[in-house]
Structure 1
């Protein structure tokens, strides 16, 4: 992975300090390199496909960014960084936005099949929202994509099957300023696997011709064929385009990543990484020294001994928030507003929002009053006032609950267990809302998924950006924006507002700061009025690198500490 040094410098003093601390004790020549490093992360390993709703929401980017590579990866400050081992992407001047992609001539999957522009065509087809089928209420997407942002503005992807070159042409009048977030690590899937499974020469032809029966088969595999179940892996379906490949996945042995012999870039420094996810008993794994790198929500493991780690707590790019249903008890706008009044946002921040650090300005400084604009943005202070009336503990909360019909109702809050911090937060919300006559139920469970909000099994999700249970967020806030867009896979609360969608579209193409500020102000007022979610604070992360670790750089983003796992060296 060739790193963009300018981008890495933006990671900030805290992150660099973490890297130095992690490597400070690693220089002793008498120590031996450990051949396998355990990586504990509170993602949920559920799908290989990070472009799907399931993959994106469960945390594929934190696990597979160095297994399934892209033209860009998420750097430690949440910024897109070019991965020139994979290829190059260049914007071509002209009236219509056009990006020229060129894959490395040496690029080869771990099964020996060359990387090709077929993979980009598949990614675009799946995420464009263009391909649909008949549903009970009208057309529904064929592909269960996490979001279509950026991709739906692409008119076509010019590609000769098997070629290393692709030209991406956007629709006339459309411009996507965050184009470097497209075709990203963990999101570009191997098209040749689907071609083999569906028994077609390639996926490009049915996409270009609109062959509906074939596209339905392609979509069915894309949606379901890459789900991951411990002990039930078919390695032929999981070829790697990065420095690591999947070797095995089991309840007892974790997800084992090993060196990909076909990788053409800089070879991984450690030949074996074992990923332990949220369901692996992370607290016990820390105690028995199975873990050399830990990346979890601050306080989620409770009283865990991190002796032998260089540890830091820091604010993340993810938004700790309550995502609300727009049906059931929250079917009424007044009910959502009433609940927001009783949620003790200030109290939650004071107790849970800045553990072990006190930021005066920027990311992590106080309550987060926006769902899509981060606190270190130049626009934040000018647009964040709309949320000030919802600090919690408002004397009008009881009256609002009564008039909205929420009084004497039950609100079920779901989250992925185990998570001691979120359990305590739910308890604090329940205690605060009692006075308003609102009963709050802890609906956390080990098998909880954000999709249960869509299914009406809970009324709210407590999680990070887009309801993610573990690492979340980027500098561009693409997931946060998509999670509020009508019909998006990550929009688990089924919120829909055409004006929000239009503002998001305009912001995606706008570079005039005055216009951006005006649009953001309108957007914030709209979202605080509609209340599809309740932002709380920048999600705090605990990131620890074992003593003797080299090249450990904290990344409180959706890519997690594993963003550069191929550079890790642990000496003991």
Structure 2
């Protein structure tokens, strides 16, 4: 991986990193006095289900793929511990070309090659752009035009006019549409964004993926899209390694319920070899409590207090606020078709009490992340403009039964039932739902716990629940970044992660403006307008910055928390455990 060191903005994570560093130093001192051996395999537990290799689909964004594969599917950047995109020069370089429209010249590392021996090429960038541009559509059974690719969102990629690429080349020129220079362009084509185009082309029976996309060959692109959407799904005991080549330090060896997802060193990797040759990932559907107790887990990145009775004896661990926004995502049809009905739930939801009880375990902050109920959906709590954006949210501390009753009356609804779904088991979220149910019952709102081990946030779109309790973009586990792109696009019409089908053209226009204009004045005024609009229409109810627990087994070196969507595994190829 390219540039590695990143300073922590969060005091808690600076403390955690320092503690890990001190532990590593102590281990080094001990090694001079006694014999220690490096452990050849490290277990890594996360709190999302692992269902696909492709983190870019709607399902993938709600899976463990973003935390499992940053060092398997590398790219032009990776998400560092502060939540920002950092250039990964092992994969390639990116430089702005002078001109009226934003133009980026990408040059992939000449030594880059997938684990199956096929060189990385600009075709991988072309596939990523095509899949997430939103421009390739088809008619559904009702004759409505819908995207061919089931992308989680089109942020940035929809602003690209073209990707100039000759098949097999290591060079690509990406030209953005006039006036649509995506401000966060450095995050594009990053780790887990670039899927192996040669695999998609082979399965789709396409000889030249660049030409069929350039020609908008609907039949060929449709076959590519079908594979991109479904062909990289992961079922324990049934994976085909030939479909899963790696462009990073690790590759997938196997996946089973009993043994977890096994990553092994990729002997075709052209950068520094991974320090530990084997990583075993344990996703949400395994019994993480038992895995920790049995010694199968040496690294854990979990929602704080999500697993009751978890014993981290023998670990260096800490709770700290993350860039993940714990929130309720609400439907906009049925019971919640009226904004007043959604406001009713927001008025009685005990946001302040939930923060006090569940939102800051073992730490107290007076400002920034984790310092109070989250009062903005689009602005991080540790930024200068957050205080100006949080005024509307302060009007909803919770427990306002008369206000909720009045809002229900305005909506013309009596005694509604609200099913809140989340990925179970999760003790903290179960407590959250119970607290909301108790607080809202006097207002006549019946809240039901619809948590399930099989829960998918798509259940909201299907009308099976009225609300999802999750993180940024309804993710069940690690999520969030400094640029807020995922949060903004999760409420934009047409986005795959807009599970509640919220639709407001003015909000969409603001998101589009914020995407290309990073000036402080625009960020302040446009974000403020958007927040006012969102508090008025209430498509989500923000609660708090999700507290996360990061744990490293004693003797771990290079374990550094990452309170963003990449999780603690962002640098797993550097991990060394000595005992």
Query: Normalization by structure 2: what TM-score?
Result: 0.97
Question: C-alpha distance in 1, partners of 2:307/2:88?
Answer: 34
Which residue in 1 is equivalent to 2:520?
513
Judge which range, 306-315 or 194-203, deviates more: 194-203
Are the counterparts in 1 of residues 45 and 301 from structure 2 also a CA contact under 8 Å?
yes
- Secondary structure of 1:278 counterpart: coil
**Once structures 1 and 2 are overlaid, which stretch shifts more, 163-172 or 11-20?**
11-20
> Which residue of 2 is the match for residue 20 of structure 1?
18
1:295 maps onto 2:293 in alignment? no
Which of residues 249, 257, 272 in structure 2 aligns to 1:251?
257
Matches of 2:553 and 2:536, distance apart in 1? 46
Match of 1:60 in 2: 65
- Aligned residue for 1:9, secondary structure, equals coil
Alignment of 1:85-104 (within 5 A): 85-104=90-109
* Distance in 2 of aligned mates of 1:139 and 1:13: 48
Q: Name the residue aligned to 1:199.
A: 205
- Give the secondary structure class of the aligned counterpart of 2:392: helix
**1:420 aligned onto 2:439:** no
Deviation string 1:236-256 (CA, Å, 9 cap, x unpaired) is: 000000000000000000000
1:503-526, CA deviations, whole angstroms, 9 ceiling, x for partnerless residues? 111111213322321111111100
Equivalences for residues 376-525 of structure 1 within 5 A: 376-394=382-400, 395-525=402-532
Tell me the distance in 2 between the aligned counterparts of 1:200 and 1:331: 44
SS in 2 for 1:373: coil
Distance in 2 (alpha carbons) for counterparts of 1:122 and 1:515: 32
1:372 paired residue number: 378
Secondary structure in 2 matching 1:385: coil
SS in 1 for 2:391: helix
Q: Secondary structure at the match of 2:27?
A: coil
1:72 has 2:77 as partner: yes
Instruction: Report whether the alignment pairs 1:108 with 2:113.
Output: yes
Distance 1:137 1:501 in 2: 24
2:405 and 2:444 in contact (8 A); partners too: yes
Cα deviation, 1:7-29, whole Å, max 9, x if unaligned, reads x0245443243233224143132
Q: How does 1:58-457 map to 2 (within 5 A)?
A: 58-135=63-140, 136=142, 138-394=144-400, 395-457=402-464
Query: Alpha carbon RMSD of aligned pairs, Å?
Result: 1.1
Determine the C-alpha separation between the residues in 2 that align with 1:223 and 1:168: 24
Distance 1:78 1:133 in 2: 35
Q: Distance in 1 between matches of 2:9 and 2:561?
A: 9
Distance, in Å, in 2 between the alignment partners of 1:137 and 1:556 is: 43
- Secondary structure of the corresponding residue to residue 396 of structure 1: helix
Q: Deviations over 1:11-55 (max 9, x none)?
A: 544324323322414313221100000001102101100111111
Unaligned runs of 5+ in 2: none
Contact 1:26 1:570 in 2 (8 A): no
Q: 1:471·1:560 contact (CA, 8 Å) conserved in 2?
A: yes
CA contact (8 A) 2:2 2:88 kept: yes
- Name the residue aligned to 1:9: 7
* 8 Å CA contact 2:27, 2:555 repeated in 1: yes
Once residues 14 and 342 of structure 1 are traced to their aligned partners in structure 2, the CA distance between those partners, rounded to angstroms, is 31
Residue 408 of structure 1 and its aligned partner are, at CA, apart by 1.1
The answer as to whether partners of 1:51 and 1:188 remain within 8 angstroms in 2 is no
Equivalent of 2:47 in 29, 42, 51 = 42
Q: Deviations over 1:444-503 (max 9, x none)?
A: 000000010111111000001011111010111111111011010011111111111111
Secondary structure of the residue that 2:195 maps to in structure 1? Answer: coil
- Counterpart secondary structure, 2:235: coil
Instruction: Check whether the contact 1:247–1:257 (CA below 8 A) recurs between aligned residues.
Output: yes
Counterparts of 1:513 and 1:557, CA distance in 2 = 23
Q: For the Cα contact (< 8 Å) 1:39–1:292, is it kept in 2?
A: yes
| Equivalent residues, number | 570
SS of the residue aligned with 2:390? helix
The 3-state SS of whatever aligns with 2:223 is helix
